[in-house]
Chain A
Amino acid sequence: MLNYLIRRILYAIPILLGVNLLTFALFFMVNTPDDMARIHLGVKHVTADSISRWKIEHGYDKPLFFNEKAVGAARAADTLFVEKSLKLFALDFGAADDGRDIAREIKTRMWPSLAIALPTFLVGLLAYISFALLLVFFRGTRLDTAGVVLCVALMSISGLFYVIGGQYLMGKLWHWFPISGYQPGLDAWKFLVMPVLVSAVASIGDSTRFYRSLFFEEIAKDYVRTARAKGLSELRVLFRHVLGNAMIPILTGVVVVIPRLFMGSLIIESFFGIPGLGSYTIDAIQAQDFAIVRSMVFLGSLLYILGLVLTDISYTLVDPRVRLE
């Protein structure tokens, strides 16, 4: 397994390099440093001199890939690609265009993101799987049909509707929770309940249908009939045997997202005013702060690859037949 993991990590390097090159081309060749300077300097009193000064101050005055004025290794090293892109491999994210240290921001903001994403993930998973198993238990009955119709209805509604509806009902009309905002520490709970509920409900339709189809496939198999023949209760059959054997496809979809929970949710964080990494990314896109966007894209890719590796490892834990060679 160790060899497999090393191999996977080595595979990750060219993938990340590709991601890096692609984002670099997007951010520096399509959108030149002059363009960035203009965006940041605003409209008033912007001169060629001020653009030039901004570029020098932010290190955007260097050539893209090859520095003819430098000598030796500096010809390649003293370039935008190395300074702004390759350093990401060392997790050196540098400073945002407003001067703030990106790594420090990430460290600070990942906790609010996690505070939302982790309970949402756990509550959601529990609710979707339980609901799906319930529908499978009542398969073919009116309850099953009603459940599926409900799921289709729920998944047909835009996610924003749940956010605005949740804020309207629980925040504005019933005054149960603050409409938006965040406080660190123990005060955080009252800001988290509503977004967690809303996020969980928003995904209940499609997730339940997905899990229902997985369990439906399993429930018809021989081992289920055998379990029943052994006299096990239906709940035990469902929660222990069916759920256990459906774990591989579940893990495929679930484990890969675990590392990315740190990245937060773009919409939920923005609407509920949670100062996590999701809103950090959205803000950076809106402010065209490409240093942050580049860092978040890189971090996202890195965590995605990590998620895939963890998924592979998790297969070995739930299915003894799987060996990572």
Chain B
Amino acid sequence: MSPPDVLTQQSRPPRLEHFPAAGYLGRALSLCCVFFIAACSGPVNSPYPASEGGKRGASSAYSAFGERPKHLDPARSYSENEYVFLGNIYEAPLQYHYLKRPYQLEPQTTTAMPTVRYLDAQGRGLPANVAAAKIAVSEYEIHIKPGIRYQPHPALARDAAGKQRYVPIKPEELERIARFEDFPEKGSRELTAADYVYQVRRLAHPRVQSPILGLMADAIVGLKDLARDLGKAAKNQPKDAYLDIAKFDFPGAYVVDRYTYRIRVKGKYPQFVYWLAMPFFAPVPEEAERFYRQPGMAERNFTLDWQPVGTGAYYLAENDPNRVMRLRKNPYYHDDFYPSEGDHGDREAGMLDDAGKRLPMVESVIYSLEKEDVPYWNKFLQGYYDASGVSSDSFDQAIRMNAKGEPDLTDDMRQRGILLSTAARPSLNYMGFNMLDPVVGGLSERARKLRQALSIAIDYDEFISIFLNGRGLPGQGPLPPGIFGYRDGLAGMNPVVYRADCGNPPFPKGGRGDLATSAEAQPSLKSPPAPLWKRGESVSPSPADCARFKRRPLDDAKKLLAEAGYPNGRDAATGQPLTLYFDTAASGPEAKSRMDWFRKQFAKLDIQLVIRASDYNRFQDKMSKGSEQIFEWGWNADYPDPENFLFLLYGPNKKVGGGGENAANYHNPEFDRLFERMKDMDNGPERQAVIDALVKLAREDAPWIYAFHPKSFGLRHGWVKNAKPNLMTHNLLKYRRIDPAARAAYQAKWNRPVLWPVPATLAVLVALIWPAVAGYRRRLKATAHA
């Protein structure tokens, strides 16, 4: 046996087999080429399975959710991201008209709007125009439409004997069911008034944990007692056992006949009808509770919180909140038609093109989990989502401000046929003062002027521009647009902070009396605004000019501050600089830049601002104990009534001591008196006058700095029809129409695979590998050195 010939071996030309990986690489690249060539026939980057890709997706709509919903039980859910689903699955008795503004309630499952009957303490009927103080109980009678049926659901499946098919379910049968879709039998039945009454009872169910129980226990007769009784009964039961809540005495809601029920509310509570448009009052069949409260169900995530059953236009066909949630058209959906009346301009905008058509118009809606903004935005641009919001990252790419200072689409968006919708949200963000604080709180002249000075100095117009990309309206008072009582334009200007921007605007000499005079002088809707700026001088501004107003100059704020006893930001008595404290739960880089901005605003008045950042819980603790001084807060409307905002300043609702929603702990007896009057009034000129007086008080006392009303910006592709923003309701999917052919064409056009990088990548790889191969060859051919 001869020894290995090193030289011979080294002189052997290297073969590709010496780099086995290179061979595999070549084959893999060939496969890639084949794949890409094959991919040219359709979008290979579609995030949907081939069976439901955009081009074959018939009339499916595609959307996304950023956070998986926690609860889908209508008695429990109270979150925007959950209402997106619930609003389309469940049906409350009432709904908001899709097109009309201001928002109007209308029947959804009822034959007409509820009727109300007032009763005194003895249960005797009272006339409709009786004083609110005499009303002991308001009894709402609701008559539902016959023939409405529930979505298909295993809880409603029945056997030959008419009993619930899966109650009780055998453990071995349940063992075979891994996913909810695996239940072979599903059933349906007609909706009855008893289901609505059952749902009112469910609000008191100790295991349901309804977030409005506290609120409704104070409103609905007997609900508090029912909650107490159910709590006691539940203690003696296993955790997930069925609790027959129908057996307990409850005078607050009862069935009159198969299609009629009544709810009894304490005193006069005209806003109660708005609650009837929320999912809390949507029907749930008792069979569902019996079905889900069986052993083994919760362990499989089979709960009403996850697998809802309602009468809405869609049912939840697939619930995998880790990936996708799929709604399908309810095969039993009742007669429902697209509205034939709309708001001004709706016809021209094509919003009435489908008037009278049967709803819903989209077969299924696929919601994919999309946590990050960037992928969401890119998929929207690729046509894989029908609509998108506008995040800060994509704002400049999508929106530009036109010559009038209004938001408009960029050319790129226009070329793609994308459409923009904007709407002011019925919300208010504000900076609050703790009215119990010895420095900024109270109704003294000194504290009031300090708050007014700060209201002027903190330039929220600038804030909106810097931090919101212009997506907000500067707040003028506690009421947001779209709510009865809100006044638009100059009529709605807050004269404490703004002044008319036309010629030589009058500014009061200072002091509360002057401001009050100015506020009184502000024009109402009935009176033209001319006297406000009429000075008898040569300036004669046009009405259009005077429709504008601008923030008062900083000198006005400094003057108020001096009158408050803090000239140049120092306490006149002690000479000490004024230091204020701002409590916040905000954190992170964005919060830091906001806090820096706040410091700068306070510094304009030579006031030092100390930021006291804490986590959310500590912040909440401070708020409930009243140890904060200045804070940020906000409120989204539950319903479009001024009571839902003005109650935030109602004295008895103080957070400290009462645990209410009046976070500023504002307490002005005059405000409280007016509020109590306003809340029971019907909308009309008289109520408007009381609201004006309330708003005026709130502006003058300035317990809040009315920061801004957020504006919602929505983008949608041209193939999406009937997408008018409606920020009060969530059952919008049934009105939506999709043009799937247009979508498929655009998706194909926008998603053709770009193939040149394949040879380019190959070339780069060769360029990188070649020196190594050459070097290897040289090394093998080289002779040994001494």
Give complex CA distance A273, B617 in Å.
Answer: 30
Q: Is the CB of B372 within 8 A of A180?
A: yes
- Nearest-neighbour CB distance to chain B for A56, whole angstroms, equals 8
Kindly state whether residue B523 has any CB partner on chain A within 8 Å: no
Q: Which residues of A contact B36 (CB under 8 A)?
A: 176
Cβ-based interface call for B775 (8 A): yes
Closest to B68 in A: A283
Are B322 and A275 in touch, CB under 8 angstroms? yes
B579 interfacial by beta-carbon distance below 8 Å: no
Residue A181 at the chain B interface, CB threshold 8 Å? yes
| B776 at interface, CB cutoff 8 A | yes
Query: For A104, what are the chain B residues with a Cβ–Cβ distance below 8 Å?
Result: 299-301
Docked CA distance A107–B520 (Å): 67
Interface residues of B in 353-379 (CB under 8 A from A): 368-372, 374-375, 378-379
Known: A44-B211, A45-B661, A234-B780. A175 touches B18 (CB 8 A): no
Q: In the bound complex, what is the Cα–Cα distance between A184 and B68 (angstroms)?
A: 18
Interface centre among A42, A53, A130 (most CB of B within 10 A): A53
Given A44-B211, A234-B780 in contact, is the A279-B303 Cβ separation under 8 Å?
no
**A41 engages B211 (CB within 8 Å):** yes
Check: B506 CB closer than 8 A to any chain A CB.
no
Instruction: Collect the chain B residues with CB atoms within 8 Å of residue A32's CB.
Output: 617
A107 to chain B, nearest CB (A): 11
Q: Which of A161-217 contact B (CB under 8 A)?
A: 164, 167, 169, 171-184, 187, 190-191
Complex alpha-carbon distance, A176 and B40, angstroms:
10
A175 to B772 CA separation, bound complex (whole angstroms)? 32
Which of A10-18, A83-91, A135-143 makes up part of the contact surface? A135-143
Looking at the complex, which one of A99, A178, A271, A273 makes contact with B305 (CB distance below 8 Å)? Answer: A99
Residue from the list A49, A50, A173, A235 in contact with B754, Cβ < 8 A: A173
Residues 267-310 of chain A, each 1 if its beta carbon lies under 8 Å from chain B, else 0: 00011110100011001000100000000000000000000000
Contact between A233 and B753, CB atoms less than 8 A apart: no
Mark A27-48 against chain B: 1 for CB-CB distance below 8 A, else 0.
Answer: 0000110110011011011111
> Knowing A39-B617, A138-B775, A179-B47 touch, does A98 contact B378 (C-beta < 8 A)?
no
A214–B617 Cα gap in the complex (Å)? 50
A-side contacts of B3, CB under 8 Å: 231
Q: Is the CB of A167 within 8 A of B9?
A: no
B214 touches A45 (CB 8 A): yes
A: number of interface residues (CB 8 Å):
69
B620 (CB) vs chain A CBs: closest residue: A38
Indicate whether B456 reaches chain A with its CB closer than 8 angstroms: no
Query: A175 contacts B49, CB within 8 Å?
Result: no
- The docked-state distance in angstroms from the alpha carbon of A167 to that of B373 is 13
Question: Cβ of A319 < 8 Å from any Cβ of B?
Answer: no
Q: How many residues of B contact A (CB 8 A)?
A: 69
Q: Which residue of A lies closest to B320 (CB)?
A: A275
Query: Are B378 and A233 neighbours in the complex by a CB distance under 8 Å?
Result: no
How many residue pairs between the two chains, A and B, have CB atoms under 8 Å in the bound complex? 168
Q: Give B285-311 as 1s and 0s: 1 = Cβ < 8 Å from A's Cβ atoms.
A: 000000000000011110101100000
Contact A279 to B301, CB < 8 A, known contacts A109-B322, A134-B772, A183-B49: no
Residue B134 lies at the interface, judged by CB distance under 8 Å to chain A: no
Measured between beta carbons, the chain A residues less than 8 angstroms from B278 are none
CB <8 Å contact, A49 and B298:
no
Measured CB to CB, the nearest residue on chain B to A96 is B70
Q: How far is the CA of A49 from the CA of B204 in the complex (A)?
A: 12
Q: Does B46 contact A (CB under 8 A)?
A: yes
| B301 in complex: contacting residue of A39, A57, A100, CB < 8 Å | A100
Chain B's nearest CB lies how many Å from the CB of A291?
A: 13
- Verify A175–B617 contact, CB threshold 8 A: no
Q: A143-B771, A167-B374, A181-B368 are in contact. Are A45 and B753 (CB under 8 A)?
A: no
The docked-state distance in angstroms from the alpha carbon of A166 to that of B323 is 21
User: Within the complex, what minimum Cβ distance (angstroms) separates A192 from chain B?
Assistant: 13
Q: Find residues 733-771 in chain B having any chain A CB closer than 8 Å to their own CB.
A: 751-754, 757, 771
B323 — nearest CB in chain A belongs to which residue?
Answer: A275
Q: How far is the CA of A173 from the CA of B752 in the complex (A)?
A: 10
Q: Is the CB of B45 within 8 A of A171?
A: yes
Q: Does B573 contact A (CB under 8 A)?
A: no
Q: Are B9's CB and A231's CB within 8 A?
A: yes
CA distance A164 to B377 in the complex (A): 13
Contact surface of A with B, Cβ cutoff 8 Å: 31-32, 34-35, 38-39, 41-42, 44-50, 53-54, 56-57, 95, 97-101, 104-105, 108-109, 130, 134, 137-138, 141, 143, 164, 167, 169, 171-184, 187, 190-191, 230-231, 233-235, 270-273, 275, 279-280, 283, 287
Some 13 contacts from A to B, beta carbons below 8 A apart, are: A32-B617, A42-B79, A42-B211, A45-B211, A101-B299, A104-B300, A134-B772, A174-B754, A180-B375, A190-B44, A273-B372, A273-B375, A275-B322
- Please give me the 6 A-B residue pairs with the lowest Cβ-Cβ distance, nearest first: A275-B322, A231-B4, A35-B617, A180-B375, A178-B47, A181-B47
